[in-house]
A and B are shown apart, each in its own frame.
Chain A
Amino acid sequence: MLKTLKTLAAAALSATAFVSLAQAQELKVGVQNMAPWLDPGRDFSNVGSQFYFNAFDPLIGKDATRAESVWQPGIATSWTQVSPTVIELKIRQGVKFHNGDPMTVEDVVFSFDRIINATFPPYAIRKRDTLPNMARVEAVDGETVRVTATRPEPLFETLLNVQQGMIVPKKYVMALTGDPNVAEASDFEAFALKPVGTGPYKIAEFVPNQRLVYERFDGFWGEKAPFQKVTVTRIPELSGRLTALKNAEVDLITNIPPDQLEPVAADPKLKVEGMQTPLFHVVIFNTQNPKMANPKLRQALSYAIDRKTLNEALWFGKAKVPTSHSFAQFGPLYMPELATFEYDPAKAKALLKEAGYDGSPIRYDIQAAYYTNGLLAAQAIQEMWGAVGVKMQLNVTEQWTGSDPTMMARGWSNPMYFPDPAGAFGIMWAPTGNSASEGRFKADDAYIALWDKFRFSTDLAERKQAYAALMQAIKNDPPVLPLYQPYESYGMKRSLAWRPLQGHIPYVLDFRAGRVTLAAR
């Protein structure tokens, strides 16, 4: 009798396991935004970056579970830096693209060539902001690729890991339109609607701005994907996403603001996972506007903002208030010990007096719906500035005013595009970075020299020192104040084991093997 019971129990268990396997064949995700096109090489957006990692591979991989960079073999199995400007990589053999084509060194060269020798404007932009130091990528032989930089490059691994450098199929791209032996602009546009990569999931269906369906790619070179199918649907309204999750129409939803977590957290069948995203919401100052020219005025405005209170009130204390423009992802270059940004209202008042502030209003621009809590933060900052005697004229606008010479201060964000100060602070605040080219920030000679040392020195200690000195320069003559790293929340079924990972750039939905499982209830 006991034996029969045991057999029955075992049978029931294995049946359950079978059901759980069957149920785990599909994952359904509800996202706030779906991309209008998908091409890792030209995308820089928070929307697109959600989707590439499942379907594409970079040359050099990275342990996504750790904040600091731990490099792993990717499309390249090994690599050697042969000189400060040259790195050589062995390319993995037997890798297949989703369309069945074998991946060769030609595809690697093509993937980088389309960016560093861009004829298509969207790629030219990425060359400028992400790969400006990359001069040449060439095939040495059938298994080896050589990458040459213009100046000494301490960041080869980091740059060969970026989303923009993920490998795409040359033959497939060129044959999409027109002459099959020439890469035309229309080929790149067609590719962005029918993207093909080497990752564990192929993109089986993509309806721009609506829906994306991944299917397991059985020819993947690494560990096979855990799901047969992942369906990602755009559900733009928060109430719609919450309802779809509660109603079991989806297993996972993105973008839940901090004050809306309760309905998910309180449901025993659901749970919330989240992370302090490697991205800063910031306040920027137009240093080139004559009314804002005095560094003491900008220091005062910075000292007057109580970021800890903002975090507690708007993010329930879950966001992270940084001491410097620095992320944990920088590894050895993460320097929380630098007290670049502080709250000191008494000092703010004294500095305002020294600066001779005459009480004229400071215009603060904000795009109301773009940043979570952006408008609320601006209103709170208005009060905080008011407390030290500064009048803020809050200007809610739909427009980007970063290049407007009359801009005085505004809300913005500084994402981490790759895990190095050059890929976060640098993109925005390098001497030729975004802020300088839009005319609201100007680096002096000392700053330029520091930047050069920081960016191109191959000595880590020297880089670290230069980075600290740059932070001091920012403290003395502030163009920016990072408010906090927002806390990004996801709602999901309790049976789903998934969480955002510190080792990715912001917003990546990683559904690769080992990163996600969906058990039966």
Chain B
Amino acid sequence: MLAFLSSRLLRMTITLWAIVTAVFLATRLTGNPIDFLMPEGLDAVSRAEMIAYWGLDRPIAEQYLLFWKSLLSGDFGLGLMERRPVAVIFSERLWQSASLLLATLALTIAVGVPLGILAALWRGQPRGQGVLFIAFMGYAVPNFVLAILLLLIFSYTLHWLPSAGSATLLHYVMPTVALAAYFVAALTRYTRNAMLDVLSEDYMRTARAKGLSESAIILRHGLRNALIPVITVLGLQITTLVSGAVVVETVFAWNGVGDLLVGATLRRDYPVLQFGVLVVASTVILVNFAIDLAYAASDPRVRLVGA
């Protein structure tokens, strides 16, 4: 177990370092924030002054060393545009995104797992096909199309739901549905397939022979075993969820991290972007790590060893 932890920790650190370095270089090689701040152009003297003011006049190697030095001392720097600590800029928006992602995750599980079970139990029947068709639609419609469609129906035409911002719980409905549709579809299909595999296992027949009720068989013996691959898949989808949030946040004027990262990328706001990537990458890495642990917990056959 200790070997596993230390090996994973090392790999996680290397991955993070590689990602942050790649972002550091890629953003600097593709443009200077001054061009995005002053798109009408700027005289040469002023341009040089602004670049120096941002500390971007130093050689890239020096900037890189400084970046790590301050990072390790817990100073994440100031955003170039807002001139506020990036940690503050993020903290303002983190809950906005996190709450949306949690709501999406909850909706996904609450709808996807039961639908998957039903689709498995109704295999070969028209109603099973119906469930799969709905799931297919969730896959096929891109989230921004769904988002705009929802806006059009529920705000623009019916005036039932608020469209912009995150002030009330009602504001969560459309963004959550728009984001969750794809994942409900994915989870339904994964759950269905996993259940089908499990349903034909010998231990299911044994459970039936023991005279257990059908629901106990399906939930305790079936679902528990079926969930192992499902959890893995769900974990891998976290990155898709984050990138999906970027688009959905923009449509619903949701002041989240996705919106912040898009803006920072367009404007080459290096400190914001670096910190953002660090946060998102760490989250994904940690979630994957947590899934490995969950995997072990839900399947006693899995042993965690260093490799």
A in complex with B: yes
- Whether A237 pairs with B250 at a CB distance below 8 angstroms is yes
- Chain B: CB-nearest residue to A263: B156
Residue of A121, A248, A370, A402 most packed against chain B (CB within 10 A): A121
Question: B299 at the A/B interface (Cβ < 8 Å)?
Answer: no
Task: Kindly state the separation between the CA atoms of A241 and B250 in the bound complex, as whole angstroms.
Answer: 11
Q: Which residues of A contact B45 (CB under 8 A)?
A: 128, 437
Residue interface bits A217-256, CB-to-B below 8 A is 1, else 0: 0000000000000000111110111111011111000000
A434 near B41 with CB under 8 A, answer yes
In the complex, A260→B112 CA distance in Å? 38
Q: Report the Cα distance A193→B84, complex, angstroms.
A: 9
B155 interface neighbour in A189, A211, A246, Cβ under 8 Å: A246
Q: A413 at interface (Cβ–Cβ under 8 A)?
A: yes
When the two chains form their complex, are residues A249 and B164 in contact, meaning their CB atoms are under 8 A apart?
yes
Instruction: Judge if A71 is at the interface, Cβ distance under 8 Å.
Output: no
Q: Does B137 contact A (CB under 8 A)?
A: no
Interface residue ranges of B78-111 to A (CB < 8 Å): 79, 81-84, 89, 92
Chain B residues with Cβ under 8 A from A413's Cβ?
A: 40
Cross-chain contact of B41 among A37, A211, A403 (Cβ < 8 A): A403
B53 to chain A, nearest CB (A): 4
Which residues of chain B from 156 to 192 have any CB-CB distance to chain A below 8 Å in the complex? Answer: 156, 159, 162-165
> B164 near A235 (CB under 8 angstroms)?
yes
Chain A neighbourhood of B82, CB < 8 A: 36-37, 193, 208-209
Q: Which residues of A contact B275 (CB under 8 A)?
A: none
How many B residues have CB within 8 A of the partner chain?
40
Whether B43 and A400, one on each chain, are in contact in the complex, defined by CB atoms closer than 8 angstroms, is: no
In the complex, chain B residues whose CB is within 8 Å of the CB of A97: none
- Residue B216 interfacial (CB < 8 Å): no
How distant is the Cα of A209 from the Cα of B89 in the complex, in angstroms? 10
Point out residues on B near A: beta carbons under 8 Å: 31, 35, 38-46, 49-50, 52-53, 79, 81-84, 89, 92, 148, 151-152, 155-156, 159, 162-165, 250-253, 255, 259-260, 263
Interface CB pairs A-B, < 8 A, 19? A37-B82, A121-B50, A121-B53, A122-B53, A128-B46, A189-B83, A209-B82, A210-B255, A236-B253, A240-B151, A240-B164, A242-B156, A243-B164, A244-B164, A247-B155, A247-B162, A249-B162, A400-B41, A434-B42
The count of chain A contact residues (Cβ–Cβ below 8 Å) is 48
A323 near B: Cβ within 8 Å? no
A273 within 8 A of B: no
Instruction: Known pairs A210-B92, A400-B38, A434-B42; list 13 more (Cβ under 8 Å).
Output: A37-B82, A37-B83, A124-B46, A125-B46, A129-B46, A192-B83, A234-B255, A240-B253, A244-B253, A248-B159, A249-B155, A434-B43, A437-B43
Counting chain A CB atoms within 10 Å of each CB, the highest count among B39, B50, B164 belongs to B164
Tell me which of B40, B89, B148, B251 contacts A434 (CB under 8 A): B40
Who on chain A is nearest to B54 by CB?
A121
The contact of B251 among A121, A128, A210, A240, by CB within 8 Å, is: A240
Note all chain A residues with C-beta closer than 8 A to B156. 242-243, 246-247
In whole angstroms, what is the CA distance A237 to B155 when docked? Answer: 15
* A321-346 near B? 1/0 per residue, CB < 8 Å: 00000000000000000000000000
Q: Report the minimum CB–CB distance from B267 to chain A (whole Å).
A: 9
Q: Are B253 and A234 in contact (CB under 8 A)?
A: yes
| Cα distance, A44 to B40, chains bound together (Å) | 10
Q: B90: shortest Cβ distance to chain A, in Å?
A: 13
Query: Could you say which residues of chain B place their CB within 8 Å of the CB of A209?
Result: 81-82, 255, 260, 263
Return chain B residues, CB-CB under 8 Å to A249. 155, 162-164
CB distance from B78 to the nearest CB of A (A): 8
Chain A residues closer than 8 Å to B260, beta-carbon distance: 209
Q: Is the CB of A37 within 8 A of B81?
A: yes
* B279 → A minimal CB distance (Å): 18
What residue in chain A is nearest B264 (Cβ atoms)?
A: A209
* B151 partner residues in chain A, CB cutoff 8 A: 239-240, 243
| Chain A proximity of B160: nearest CB distance (Å) | 9
A390 to B89, CA, bound (A): 50
Asked whether A233 lies within 8 Å of B164 as measured between CB atoms, the reply is: yes
Tell me the smallest distance from the CB of B266 to a CB of chain A, in Å. 8
What 0/1 readout, one digit per residue, does chain A (400-424) give for beta carbons within 8 Å of chain B?
Answer: 1011000000001101000000000
- Give the nearest-CB partner of A436 in chain B: B43
B40, B52, B251: the one contacting A412 at CB < 8 Å is B40
B34 to chain A: closest residue by CB: A400
Q: What separation, in Å, do the CA atoms of A438 and B40 have in the docked complex? A: 11
Shortest B10–chain A CB gap in Å is: 38
Query: Complex: how many Å from CA A437 to CA B39?
Result: 15
Report the Cα distance A241→B163, complex, angstroms. Answer: 9
Q: Contacts of B83 on A, CB cut-off 8 Å?
A: 37, 189, 192-193
Considering the chains assembled together, what is the distance between the CA atoms of A413 and B38 in angstroms?
12
Complexed CA–CA distance, A438 and B250 (Å):
35
The 10 closest A-B pairs by CB, nearest first: A437-B43, A36-B81, A121-B49, A402-B41, A235-B253, A400-B35, A125-B46, A243-B163, A121-B53, A208-B82
A30 within 8 A of B: yes
Q: When the two chains form their complex, are residues B81 and A243 in contact, meaning their CB atoms are under 8 A apart? A: no
Central interface residue in A239, A399, A402, by most chain B CB within 10 Å: A239
A438→B155 contact, CB < 8 A: no
Measured CA separation A121–B164 after assembly (Å): 37
Contact between A247 and B159, CB atoms less than 8 A apart: yes
B residues in contact with A241, CB < 8 Å: 164
Is there an interface contact between B35 and A399, defined as CB atoms closer than 8 Å? yes
Contacts of B44 in A (CB 8 A): 403, 437-438
